[in-house]
Structure 1
Amino acid sequence: MAYTIKDVAKKANVSIATVSRILNGQPGYSAKTKQKVLQVIEDLGYQPNAVARGLINNKTHTIGVLFPSLGGSLVTDLLRGIEKAASDQGSSVIVCHTESDAEKTMKYLRLLGEKRVDGIIFTSEVLLKEYYQVIEKMNVPLVLLSTKSDSLPVPYVKVDDFQAAYSATEYLIQKGHRNIGMISGNSEDIIAGKPRIEGFIQAMKENHIQFDENHIVNTGGFGFDRGITGMRDMLNQVPDVTAIFAASDEIAIGAISTANLLGKKVPEDISIIGYDDINLASMSVPPLTTIHQPFIEMGEIAGEMLLDMMETDQVPDSKIIQHTIIERNSVKER
């Protein structure tokens, strides 16, 4: 039998309003009354209805998270961090898979509005103005995770992609490499595409290493299949390349696989450094040297930032998270 707040009030011999105030931490009752009501709640095994509580305190204790993709450990780790932050403060998470589709994103934003979520975390892709306008009308706080907006006043949590790409390229240079190529993702992607390409170019220029456009292969995406085609194109364009910076670990692992098929050993013939430090990076053959993004920590920070905004209505400063280089066995010193 599912007991109601009315049953609790009747057994404790208090009003429904008193039970409601106790459940929501509001004043207006004695310590003795509170103890009696809590005892009745425990005896009955009463579970407060979340919707009903939301009507009382104007909160649903849920946050919405929008992901363009649900595949890979990157998403899993970001979500683990978000869920930990939410759970620690008694909130739940609704996950929406947008597939980077504008129509689907708008549909999910409307759904989150209907669900009366208390806040939204938007991840890994560009926040379009039309999305922002819908969220503004919902009047809930918004945090960007693993993405940013230069035109909209929204706090974000992310790694500096330009600086991380610069570090990866400089690492190869410090290992003695001079004929270095880059297999990039989508060069039109202003979040993870262009900044990583620009970081690569800047590192090459500042270290006085000559290169031309043939040293950058734009694959249009960040998946394993793009690494396969990207490595073939790189070897066609720069046959004597000795090191490659791959714009994602999946690209790097695809490149390693293709290099082996083409008779090139990694790292003996070609050194490769990746980007992200997904779980598969340590399982590849050879294990992949890569740029580590602390995704769980980033998710937790974004979750805590959003929850603080929900409580204080104050917009915090954005946070740039420090990247690190994880050295494994895919880069060899020349």
Structure 2
Amino acid sequence: MTVTIYDVAREAGVSMATVSRVVNNNPNVKPQTRKKVFEAIERLGYRPNAVARGLASKKTTTVGVVIPDISNQIFAEVARGIEDIANMYHYNIILCNADKRKEKEIRVINTLLEKQVDGLLFMGGTVTEEHVQAFRTASVPIVLCATTDEQEAIPSVDINHEDAAYDAVTNLIQNGHKRIAMISGPLQDQSNGYARYQGYVRALEEAGISLNEDYVRIGNYRYESGVDMMKYFLELSERPTAVFGATDEMAIGAIHAIQDAGLKVPEDLSVISVDNIRMASMVRPQLTTVAQPMYDIGAVSMRLLTKLMKKEPVDNARVILPHEIIKRESVAQV
């Protein structure tokens, strides 16, 4: 049978209120009494009822995390940062995979809110008006993690994706490249796909290079789309000398498509991207990429959420973390 707080109180010879104070680390309990209660808990194998404690305190010490793709290395690293800070502040995590599907994301958000989480982290997906409407119904703090909303009204932690793309393409231009193609993410993804496309366009414009529509193809952030889009570029009568992949996965797909065609990276085509997943340093040649501080994005997001949940002062509810180019072997001068 389930051991209750009443059983522990009877075993220790104290009141249920005293057991409750011990379980909740209330300092107003004598050391000898505290010892008796803990001994009774150990003998009986009592586990405090988290649901009941949550109902009493109106806090569950639980945070919901919506992740768009649990198999993606980028989001796995963000989740690790979230988990480490959550443990530090004694919060439990409910992690929900949404498969990058808006309908599932909305359903998961509502489910987590129904479970009375103390706060919510929405990770890395496109924030639509439907998402914003779901967030408005929440009575708990929400932080966007590795994404932002278009109005920038919701607290968020991310990098500047446009600047990251701009720096990547500028690196190619500084190496003498003028025929630069881009394998973009979906342009309806404002905070990531479209922002990185805008960075690509801005770098070309500032260098006086005309935008060639044949040099832009839309992928889905994954390896296979990088392979497919690169095959298209290789069939052009005037193929590019360099390719900017909006993600490392697509860039690695591009490298393999180039190699499958009997060409070499970077001798025949240079490749650069954004993210700096572990695979970027494992592929040959190693991929030059703009690194996102993914662990830090997760950690800072969780710390911001703890401040909001505890109603602590917040100096900046929209945090932009720095990025940096990691120069490896996939870019050559022309």
**Common topology (TM > 0.5):** yes
The answer for unaligned runs of 5 or more in structure 1 is: none
Partner-residue secondary structure (3-state), 2:257: helix
Q: For 2:209 and 2:131, how far apart are their aligned partners in 1?
A: 42
Q: Give the Cα–Cα distance (whole angstroms) in 1 for the partners of residues 60 and 208 of structure 2.
A: 57
Aligned twin of 1:332? 332
Structure 1 residue 44: Cα displacement: 4.4
Q: 2:81, 2:61 → 1: CA distance?
A: 17
- Once the two structures are TM-superposed, the CA of residue 25 in structure 1 deviates from its matched residue by 4.1
Distance 2:27 2:282 in 1: 56
Q: Is the 8 A contact 1:227 1:254 kept in 2?
A: yes
Contact 2:225 2:250 survives alignment (8 Å): yes
Paired residue for 2:273? 274
| Distance across 1 between alignment mates of 2:332 and 2:35 | 67
The CA deviation at 1:81 is 0.9
Residues 24 and 57 in structure 1, CA contact (< 8 A), matched pair in contact too: no
1:263 aligns with 2:252: no
Question: Could you tell me whether the CA contact under 8 Å between 1:183 and 1:247 is conserved in 2?
Answer: yes
CA RMSD in angstroms, aligned pairs only: 2.1
The code of the aligned residue for 2:19 comes to V
Corresponding residue of 1:241: 240
CA distance in structure 1 between the aligned counterparts of 2:21 and 2:207, rounded to whole angstroms: 66
After TM superposition, give the deviation of residue 32 of structure 1 in Å.
4.8
Which residue in 2 is equivalent to 1:24? 24
Query: Which shifted more, 161-170 or 285-294?
Result: 285-294
**2:286 maps to what in 1?**
287
Gaps of 5+ in 2: none
Instruction: Output the CA distance in 2 between the equivalents of 1:181 and 1:39.
Output: 68
Provide the C-alpha distance between the structure 2 equivalents of 1:27 and 1:68, rounded to a whole number of angstroms. 42
User: TM-score, normalising length from structure 2?
Assistant: 0.92
Shift, 1:151, TM fit: 2.4
Secondary structure of the residue that 1:274 maps to in structure 2? Answer: strand
Tell me the equivalent position of 1:73.
73
Counterpart of 2:83 in structure 1 is 83
CA distance in 2, matches of 1:320, 1:45: 47
1:43 positional shift: 5.1
Tell whether 2:50 aligns with 1:37.
Answer: no
Percent identity of equivalent pairs: 39
Structure 1: distance between partners of 2:66 and 2:296: 18
The within-5 A match list for 1:184-223 is 184-219=184-219, 221-223=220-222
Instruction: Identify the residue that residue 64 of structure 1 maps to in structure 2.
Output: 64
- Map of 1:146 onto structure 2: 146
Q: Deviations over 1:241-269 (max 9, x none)?
A: 21111111111111111111222210111
Offset at residue 158 of structure 1 (A): 0.6
For residues 152 and 158 of structure 1, the distance between their equivalents in structure 2, rounded to whole angstroms, comes to 12
Q: Which residue of 1 aligns with 2:302?
A: 303
Q: Is the 8 A contact 1:65 1:94 kept in 2?
A: yes
Pairwise CA distance, 1:129 = 3.1
Does the Cα contact within 8 Å between 2:150 and 2:191 map onto a contact in 1?
A: no
SS of equivalent to 1:120: strand
Determine helix, strand or coil for the equivalent of 1:226: helix
- Number of corresponding residues: 333
Task: Say if 1:231 and 1:258, in contact at 8 Å, map to a contact too.
Answer: yes
Query: 1:33 and 1:55, CA in 2 relative to 1: closer, same or farther beyond 3 A?
Result: same
Alpha-carbon distance between aligned partners in 1 of 2:178 and 2:20, rounded to the nearest angstrom: 70
Structure 1 window deviating more from structure 2 (42-51 vs 13-22): it is 42-51
Compute the displacement of 1:218 (Å).
2.5
* Aligned equivalent of 1:101: 101
Q: Which amino acid aligns with 2:169?
A: T
Q: CA deviation at 1:329?
A: 1.1
Contact 2:150 2:190 in 1 (8 A): no
Q: What per-residue deviation string (whole Å, max 9, x for no partner) do you get for residues 304-332 of structure 1?
A: 11122111165652111111111111111
Q: Is the 8 A contact 1:63 1:92 kept in 2?
A: yes
Residue 238 of structure 1 and its aligned partner are, at CA, apart by: 6.1
CA shift, 1:87, in A, is 1.4
CA contact (8 A) 1:18 1:28 kept: no
Contact 1:183 1:234 in 2 (8 A): no
Residue pair 2:9, 2:15 contacting (<8 A) in 1 also: yes
SS for the counterpart of 1:196 is helix
Aligned to 1:132: 132
Bigger mean CA offset, 178-187 vs 209-218: 209-218
Partner residue of 1:6? Answer: 6
Moved more, 4-13 or 142-151: 4-13
Q: Distance in 2 between matches of 1:126 and 1:17?
A: 47
